[in-house]
Amino acid sequence: MSTRGQFNTKNPTIKRILKEASELASNASPDYHAEPLEDNLFEWHFTLKGPPEPSPYDGGIYHGRIVLPAAYPLRPPSFRFLTPTGRFEVNREICLSISGHHEETWQPAWGIRTALVAIRSFMDTDAKGQLGGIDCGASVRKKMAAESGPFRCGACGRSNSEIMAEREEAAKLYEATSGKHKEEDVPEELRLAYRDELGNSKSDPQSTGAAVATSSNSIDSEGQVNADSSSQPRPATVQAKEQPVRTAASTSRAPRPTRTTQTSRVRRGQSQAFRRDADHGLAWIDACIYGVVAALLFMVLRRFV
Distance, CA of 216 to CA of 54 (rounded, Å) = 45
DSSP assignment string, the chain:
---GGGS-TTSHHHHHHHHHHHHHHHS--SSEEEEEETTEEEEEEEEEEPP-TTSTTTT-EEEEEEE--TTTTTS--EEEESS--SSB-BTS----TTSTT-GGG--TT--HHHHHHHHHHHTTS--TT-TTB----HHHHHHHHHHSTT-B-TTT-SBHHHHHHHHHHHHHHHHHHH-SPPPPPPPHHHHHHHHHHHHHHHS-HHHHHHHHHHHHHHB-TTSPBPHHHHTS---HHHHHHHHHHHHHHHHHHSPPPPHHHHHHHHHHHHHHHHHHHHHHHHHHHHHHHHHHHHHHHHHHHHHH-
Distance, CA of 160 to CA of 155 (rounded, Å) = 12
Instruction: Please give the average per-residue pLDDT across 169-195, as a whole number.
Output: 71
pLDDT at residue 103 in the model: 74
pLDDT at residue 80 in the model: 93
- Residue type for position 249: A
Share of the chain above pLDDT 70, in %: 61
Share of the chain above pLDDT 90, in %: 37
Q: For 127-161, what is each residue's pLDDT tens digit?
A: 776 667 788 899 999 999 999 999 999 999 999 99
Is residue 46 scored above 80 in pLDDT? yes
Query: CA nearest 124: which of 109, 136, 112, 113?
Result: 136
Q: For 254-279, what is each residue's pLDDT tens digit?
A: 445 444 444 455 456 555 655 665 56
Does 95 qualify as catalytic in the annotation?
Answer: yes
Is residue 18 scored above 90 in pLDDT? yes
Cβ neighbors of 187 (< 8 A, separation 6 or more) are 107, 110, 114
What's the predicted TM-score (pTM) here? 0.60
pLDDT at residue 302 in the model: 81
Q: For 73-101, what is each residue's pLDDT tens digit?
A: 999 899 999 999 999 999 998 876 665 45
Q: For 184-239, what is each residue's pLDDT tens digit?
A: 666 666 654 444 554 554 444 444 344 334 433 433 433 333 434 334 444 444 44
pLDDT at residue 283 in the model: 72
pLDDT at residue 298 in the model: 85
Q: To the nearest whole number, what is the mean pLDDT of the chain?
A: 74
Distance, CA of 147 to CA of 252 (rounded, Å) = 52
Distance, CA of 48 to CA of 44 (rounded, Å) = 13
pLDDT at residue 32 in the model: 95
Instruction: Please give the average per-residue pLDDT across 269-293, as a whole number.
Output: 70
Annotated catalytic residue, options 95, 136, 156, 288: 95
Q: What angle do CA 244, 250, 253 make, to 5 degrees?
A: 140
pLDDT at residue 133 in the model: 78
Is residue 181 scored above 50 in pLDDT? yes
pLDDT at residue 67 in the model: 95
Cβ neighbors of 7 (< 8 A, separation 6 or more) are 14, 41
pLDDT at residue 71 in the model: 93
Query: CA nearest 56: which of 89, 96, 82, 84?
Result: 84
Distance, CA of 300 to CA of 193 (rounded, Å) = 80
Distance, CA of 91 to CA of 207 (rounded, Å) = 31
Which pLDDT band, with edges at 50, 70 and 90, does 296 fall under?
Answer: confident
Q: Which residues are paired to 40 by β-bridges? A: 37
